[in-house]
Structure 1
């Protein structure tokens, strides 16, 4: 039997950011195969051109070599080279029936984990081994519960089929879209997604979640002409000035009356020295809105500002979408079913009677949910409570491991209930 706490701590010690989850995904494949579960992974479950914000080849290669060094099976992760790190487990039931899918994200964050004595992973010796990378959002727990669920359902003693979707690159909302575009969700009748924590305390459960915003993550690259800033400034074309002008005007986009909006330029990089006109500049930014339509309008305005700012300085600009998500609308039927099944889990003391609307972030599981609903299926996004000592994406983030058992028990009940109704 899989030791969930030991497995979660192993994943926590080896955090891998989006599209570099070679060791994590490789271990998932090994464990699923040990349960005699059919496994698909790599390019057979991801549409390459639909991936967003894939790291540079050098970063991918370094992560691949690190995974090999830390025990990843070379025969397995060979198929994941280049950042194809999604894994799909398929468990066939003992008679015909519907298809139920569960989604688990695997990636970590580019955060330096705390080494202070009051941080449990540091105190108990399972702090991140990869400096600058950390599981600061609970995805180590999500991956672990996916394995726990696989073990519970391995015998296929149910009608229909269960799909276990282990997704890379949720952070930055980058990884789900390529799985959707590959057609992995096209035969799914019911989809359950969930998250640990998100401000919901240990012992509490929400059968649905609202408040997720539509978002688009963008990268803008400006290219000008370098010149000596003292001797011949008129020969230069200043990419930094174009990027700075764009930044100020992007933040000046007005708010909307018909929907909540957010906008932020998170990165501006340019320049090499005080006496050189900058030839290159880069912006990384995001738009968000409670309305998918308004978010598209924000993106159009950003694109116009970037182009105009480039024209003012006589430079060129290219814009690339590096991530995205849409709002989530949970199906009431599944929300209520999840709440009913949660009542049988002793670890849940409080069952929410409605969906949580406190998210105000974004989730690329939204694309999976939308595809299932477009095909006539139903989906929900649930929250399993955890008292984390620091907020998500914080160097001291951690989860209470007893929540892993609550989640596995609930997901197994949901699989069996959904398949037999």
Structure 2
């Protein structure tokens, strides 16, 4: 599930206009020449920084966010109070997952009686990214009241979906998906998030929503990614390989390449899959070794598929949780790492901590049940499996599906669960 969150972070919590990388690169070259010729031009540095941001959002290459940050810092040296440069710097820092620095840079812009919508939107985005879900929910409600718009509604919809209030989220997003006054790529973005809200309960509804997104915007790579995942889950891995190969050829984002490797493996092509995973691991590890933590969870997913570095996964994910952000997706990532390393009690404790949150999905609860079982906590494991068996059936990735199948077979052959008897206090005369 954290593919979704990774994409949110790079796009921001709002749709990004689909632009060809060649078009943006040509613009960067032009703007770079202009900035070099006029180094005292505030506008020039802001424009160049914005172009680097756009390319970073399209490709997920973290070096581009660093370059954007450099441009906005040069603009701020010229005019320290310039809002455009400050907002650009905040977005660049978010792109490289320096969330606390981004929040510190943003806060001064929220002082004073008139706070503009951009501040409120970014303030929400940062709290959501940091895992401050309750704070983000309150901010989204306030944003809708003070600045009602497409941007405020989609943020409220995302936090509603996070807390499991999917019908309300779909209602908000559905209105905008049908609105001809906004751009097709924005309507497509809404359709994809409607699809995401159906994933845990109704894969057919999710698939239909992603199809609608592609009708609105055929270049919506995220919709292609999600359809490919559903294809793999339904036994059509060859279709997923074909779809993802086309996507990766036009946009080799790490998330897309990882999903292509999964599809290749499910399509009985283990050697190309392993080669792709090894190449991806080298790229992502070089980023992390250089101090760039934006892809640390993705690196751990790649390592897990290669069945390597179980202890290092835990070290990295615990450090991220301690120093960068605490969120549900981080719990899932660390929980899987602990399971893989055989640290079942630690995995149980971690999953149970996150289970206090509303809106958690079967893709979270199945590994939690596995952790309980392997930690010899048989009764709670059985109760959780029985609960999951009666939940609506939706999409599960191959790793989670394997665990679910194994646990259901185990549950059926295990002794009956003891009946819970409430202790009633005895009263005497």
Q: Same fold (TM over 0.5)?
A: no
**Relative contact order (alpha carbons < 8 A, sep ≥ 6): 1 or 2 greater?**
1
TM-score by length of 1: 0.24
Higher helix share: 2
TM-score by length of 2: 0.24
Higher strand share: 1
